[in-house]
């Protein structure tokens, strides 16, 4: 077991868990645990421990695994850091542009300009990353990217059928009992108050 | 400096990338089903399927070579799969960002109509 690999895996898992819990429940009452879990996951991804030293047991394991050594760890950290910068600036920029435009509220030119500057920084960060440049100039990587999309499509199709089978196998709920007199009066009163008539 | 190379671990074929996509999505779906467990869900079959489809190939890959496997080796494979999976999604980012930027350009120039409902019906 190599510690920094396990920490990176656990942190990624926490990020996925935080995103999932964040999207649960009604929009006005999201999970309170999601933000701290996300922060913990992000911190775990960025602050990775050092590669094991020569007197530690993991050192020999790292010698065998090609992506575990110091160079592998540094490359991994660089990709994670640049990706986080690009993604977060893109999110902030888009949010500012939407808030600054006329569609939801009054036109706010300074906010709109700020949004475009931040979106420009996102593009700049992508251009600065040698990873993107190398990937988009290699045909084999482009082919893998397309294959990856195909893999996602196959998985979604597979799960579509699995969920359909699950729903078919699930026992049907019994028919709901009709409202009693008290419930009927309550619903009538709620509708009357909301529609504002019959005073 | 050694760059984060996609050919690490001999991963370079079209079919393996499809398998990595499947394992990555199943891994994320399994986490999603576990953390959002509630009494109104019936996640037993999807969860079992996603665990088999993600852990099964990881177990097989960790056994490659000497024919034995350990939790440590499986975690290393899981790290490799999740890193590659998330990395390739990030590689699509320039394309996604180009589409988003075009949409933002439209939003920036958009003027609210007098009657959004009528406009929506007409479009």
Residue A190 in contact with partner chain B when CB distance is under 8 A: no
Residue A148 in contact with partner chain B when CB distance is under 8 A: yes
- The answer to whether residues A42 and A15 touch, using CB atoms and an 8 Å cutoff, is yes
Q: Which residues of chain A neighbour B107 with C-beta distances below 8 Å?
A: 97-98, 101, 103
Q: What is the pLDDT of residues B3-13, one digit of tens each?
A: 444 444 445 57
Asked if pLDDT for residue B16 goes beyond 50, the answer is yes
3-state DSSP assignment of residue A192: helix
Interface test with A, best of B13, B21, B98 (most A CBs within 10 A): B21
- The answer to whether residues B50 and B44 touch, using CB atoms and an 8 Å cutoff, is no
Q: Which residues of A62-92 are buried (b: 16+ CB within 10 A; e: fewer)?
A: beebbbbbeebbebbbbbbebbebbbebbeb
ipTM of the complex: 0.78
pLDDT (0 to 100) of residue A41: 93
Name the residue with higher pLDDT: B40 or A181: A181
Q: Alpha-carbon torsion A113, A115, A118, A122, what sign?
A: negative
Model pTM? 0.79
Q: What is the pLDDT of residues A146-182, one digit of tens each?
A: 999 999 999 999 999 999 998 888 887 788 888 999 9
Number of H helices, E strands in chain B: 5, 0
A27–chain B nearest CA distance, Å: 15
Interface test with B, best of A4, A30, A67 (most B CBs within 10 A): A67
Residue A157 in contact with partner chain B when CB distance is under 8 A: no
Nearest to B21 by CA among B91, B76, B73, B86: B86
Q: Which residues contact A54 (CB under 8 A, 6 or more apart)?
A: none
CA nearest A136 in B: which residue? B91
Query: What are the tokens at B63?
Result: 């056994």
**Residue A32 gets which letter from DSSP?**
S
**A183: Cα within 13 Å, side-chain hemisphere:** 4
B37–chain A nearest CA distance, Å: 10
Cα end-to-end span (Å), chain A: 73
Query: A162–B26: do the CB atoms touch at under 8 Å?
Result: no
For range B18-23, the mean pLDDT: 92
3-state DSSP assignment of residue A102: coil
3-state DSSP assignment of residue B45: helix
Name the residue with higher pLDDT: A199 or A153: A153
Name the H helices within chain A. Answer: 3-22, 34-46, 57-64, 70-100, 109-128, 130-136, 139-169, 181-195
Query: B35–A20: do the CB atoms touch at under 8 Å?
Result: yes
The vertex-B111 CA angle with B109 and B115, nearest 5°, equals: 155
Q: What is the pLDDT of residues A19-34, one digit of tens each?
A: 998 877 666 667 788 8
Interface test with A, best of B20, B62, B91 (most A CBs within 10 A): B91
Residue A48 in contact with partner chain B when CB distance is under 8 A: no
Asked if pLDDT for residue B31 goes beyond 90, the answer is yes
pLDDT (0 to 100) of residue B110: 79
pLDDT (0 to 100) of residue A3: 76
Q: What is the pLDDT of residues A92-145, one digit of tens each?
A: 999 999 998 887 777 888 999 999 999 999 999 998 887 888 888 888 888 889
pLDDT (0 to 100) of residue B64: 74
3-state DSSP assignment of residue A177: coil
- Tell me the C-alpha distance between B100 and A198, whole Å: 49
A81–chain B nearest CA distance, Å: 12
Asked if pLDDT for residue A194 goes beyond 90, the answer is no
Query: Which of A65, A93, A102 has the CB atom closest to B76's CB atom?
Result: A65
pLDDT (0 to 100) of residue B6: 45
């Amino acid at each position: 077991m190599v510690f920094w690999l396990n920490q990176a895996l656990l942190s990624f898992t926490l990020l996925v868990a935080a995103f999932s819990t964040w999207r649960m429940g009604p929009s006005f009452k999201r999970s309170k645990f999601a933000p701290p879990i996300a922060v913990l996951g992000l911190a775990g991804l960025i602050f990775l421990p050092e590669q094991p030293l020569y007197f530690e047991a993991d050192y020999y394991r790292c010698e065998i695994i090609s992506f575990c050594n110091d160079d592998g760890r540094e490359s991994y950290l660089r990709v994670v850091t640049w990706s986080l910068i690009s993604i977060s600036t893109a999110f902030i920029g888009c949010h500012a542009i939407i808030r600054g435009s006329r569609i939801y509220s009054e036109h706010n030119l300074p906010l709109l300009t700020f949004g475009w500057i931040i979106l420009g920084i996102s593009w700049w960060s992508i251009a600065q990353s040698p990873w993107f440049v190398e990937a988009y100039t290699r045909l084999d990587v482009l082919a893998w990217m397309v294959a990856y999309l195909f893999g996602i499509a196959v998985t979604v199709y597979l799960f579509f059928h699995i969920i359909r089978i699950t729903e078919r196998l699930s026992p049907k709920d019994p028919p709901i009992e009709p409202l009693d007199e008290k419930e009927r009066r309550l619903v009538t009163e709620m509708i009357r108050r909301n529609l504002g008539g019959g005073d | 400096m050694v760059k984060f190379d996609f050919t690490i671990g001999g991963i370079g074929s079209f079919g393996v990338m499809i398998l990595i996509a499947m394992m990555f999505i199943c891994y994320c779906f399994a986490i999603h089903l576990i953390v959002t467990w509630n009494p109104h869900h019936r996640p037993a079959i999807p969860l079992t399927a996603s665990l088999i489809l993600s852990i099964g190939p990881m177990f097989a890959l960790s056994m490659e070579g000497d024919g034995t496997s350990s939790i440590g080796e499986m975690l290393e494979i899981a790290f490799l799969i999740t890193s590659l999976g998330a990395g390739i999604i990030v590689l699509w980012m320039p394309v996604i960002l180009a589409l988003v930027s075009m949409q933002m350009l439209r939003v920036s120039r958009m003027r609210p109509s007098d009657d959004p409902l009528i406009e929506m019906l007409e479009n």
